[in-house]
Chain A
């Protein structure tokens, strides 16, 4: 059964820093890699979707890349802002979605 890890578990940075969140899968059979944002007490908001034939996706200050050979994905956030503070989760859709536990990000003003 596929397992997903996310490193770091928590991260606190000053405003304006560029940062990288990591997601690793035990099984390199990655079909549909999706990054989500979750605010406290809320559902998950989809940020980026990398389909199996793609290597990266970009949306504004966010860039997600996928290395299927190593079973890893990274989410790059440029020029971080306090409004970016949230938990970020990655998920892989095989037969069904498998999610990581998330990285809790705090961006300090």
Chain B
């Protein structure tokens, strides 16, 4: 069974600083995908970034990048130049990339608060 671990329940970061949110995963499958989502207080899960297990380069999407270290089974999210609007819950998730295994397994999340 796959498992996602997010060890930081909460983080406080000064505006404009970079922030790294930790995520480690556990699976015996070789083919999988890793996702990061942002959930503001409104409840919607906003897709941020995706990394496939066979992708050799780290994924980037604007201010978001995913620091993928396969050997360590970690997939940390890096947000550069944080903004007040980045305050939210952040979830790391994994899906197996085999047919019929599209379900996402989520971590417990990290609550990020950006301080002005």
Answer yes or no: are A and B bound together in one complex. no
A-contacting residues of B (Cβ < 8 Å)? none
